[in-house]
Amino acid sequence: MKAPALTAVKSLTACLWETASLSPRAMGIVRDLASVHGPDRVVVDSCQRLEYYGIGPCRCDAPHRLHGLEALHHLAEVASGLHAAELGEDQVMGQVREGVSGADGDLRALAGLAVAAARAFRRAEEFDTDSGRLLDRALQAAEVAPQGDLLVLGAGRLGRLVAERGAALGFGGIVVASRRPPDERWLQALNAAHVSLVDLHRWSSVDVVVGCLGATADPIDPVTELPPVTRLLVDLGSPRNFVRNVPTAVPLITIARIIEARSPGEEERRRRASTRLRQVLVERLAGAATDGASPLGRLRKNVEQIRRAEAIRLAASNPDLDPVAIDTMTRSLVNRLFHRPTEALRDAPSLAAAIADLFEPGPGSH
């Protein structure tokens, strides 16, 4: 990354709107407010927030705004899944990458750095979860056991993950409803049935219904378009799938309700993870500040060559150890050891050059 992009960190602005479990009408209002942004801004659109990033100030009506390193850190947090309803779920990384793919110049470089830091952080944290776990959280929030029939509305990625999780939790029967039939292979793997959305009202009753319809889907009227729901109604849509005639006889759990139900312990875990991610991001920024031709850049390059060769040697001599874990641990150790010295050497290029010479690979080095 060139120096101008690093200078642009101070000018980075993030404009944020909370959108978790908004109605389609409220979501439309937010999108209208956000439409004032021009093509020089990139948008990250997740199930919880609508975010615009750009270089320079912004005078839009966003209720939340971040600047500089805080904005960049926030983007890395979002990409890492630290703001997701299910901590660490992987779908949001794709949403961020899609959102920033159209960025140009300094904004593209900064967004790429945030995504790279998030990916490195996720590898180190070994997150192993996905959006299907939102079903667990909804059941816990409503204090409902995973029993009986499960009806999943929507056959996209979220719908498939929820259906798979429902099967793993032990629901007796799983039905997926959508306008078009999904891939039969994953339905067969779950021993699940498919039904058209327009035929749902013909059923006698269902125990648990989970709405996983996409942002462009028409809202569902639970009274006229669904069979009677006996135990739990879950709305994972953004905007909401159910907005009128919602029955009061059974609990309704939304993404917003799942977020509200987080325990203090989970909130503390997210804060600690955010602190670790910030360190990764700052280290990436420090590394980007020096190219390979500068004394510091040459020093980091030489040290990295030694680290990589040693990691390969350790992996070869210890076949029982995970090579990825070895690489992650050695990289983290080197970054910690060299962070303060490289900061101090920024104002002493002659000394940095002399130290870089000490780390030059010798004859026979790999």
Half-sphere exposure (Cβ direction) of 362: Cα atoms closer than 13 Å = 2
| Overall average pLDDT of the 29-52 stretch | 93
- Write the CATH number for 78: 3.30.460.30
Residue 347 lies in a domain: yes
Q: Are residues 167 and 227 in the same domain?
A: yes
Question: Is-contact 60 54, C-beta < 8 A?
Answer: no
pLDDT in tens, 197-218: 989 988 889 999 999 999 999 9
- For residue 45, is it within any domain? yes
Q: Is the domain of 162 the same as that of 244?
A: yes
Assign residue 236 the CATH number of its domain. Answer: 3.40.50.720
Residues 24 and 120 in one domain: yes
In a shared domain, residues 166 and 244: yes
Q: Cβ-count burial of 209 within 10 angstroms (0-12 exposed, 13-18 middle, 19+ buried)?
A: buried
Do residues 158 and 217 share a domain?
Answer: yes
Is residue 362, in this structure, part of any structural domain at all? Answer: yes
Distance CA 81, CA 93 (A): 7
Domain shared by 44 and 118, yes or no: yes
Q: Is the model's pTM score more than 0.75?
A: yes
Ranges 2-6, 127-131, 241-245, 305-309: which has the least confidence: 2-6
Closest CA relative to residue 327, chosen from 338, 337, 316? 316
Task: Tell me the C-alpha distance between 40 and 105, whole Å.
Answer: 10
Show which of 199, 227, 250 is a domain's final residue. Answer: 250
Domain that holds residue 226: 145-250
Say if 166 falls within a structural domain: yes
120 and 20 both lie in a single domain: yes
Tell whether 52 and 149 lie within a shared domain: no
- With respect to residue 139, please indicate whether it lies within any of the assigned structural domains: no
171, burial (CB in 10 Å: exposed 0-12, middle 13-18, buried 19+): buried
Same domain, 125 and 274: yes
In this structure, what DSSP letter does residue 226 have?
Answer: S
pLDDT surpassing 80 at residue 118? yes
The residue among 301 and 141 whose pLDDT is bigger is 141
56 and 152 fall within a common domain: no
Contact 50, 34 (CB under 8 A): yes
pLDDT at position 308: 83
Q: Tell me, what's the pLDDT at 230?
A: 95
Q: What is the predicted pLDDT for the residue at 289?
A: 65
* Shared-domain flag, residues 95 and 34: yes
Residues 234 and 211 in one domain: yes
CB-CB contact of 113 with 284 (8 Å): yes
Closest CA relative to residue 36, chosen from 17, 49, 22, 19: 17
Residue 341 predicted with pLDDT over 60 = yes
**Average pLDDT for 60-87:** 97
Instruction: For residue 134, tell me if it sits in a domain.
Output: no
Number of structural domains in the chain: 3
| Best-predicted range by mean pLDDT (69-73, 223-227, 319-323, 359-363) | 69-73
pLDDT (0 to 100) of residue 4: 46
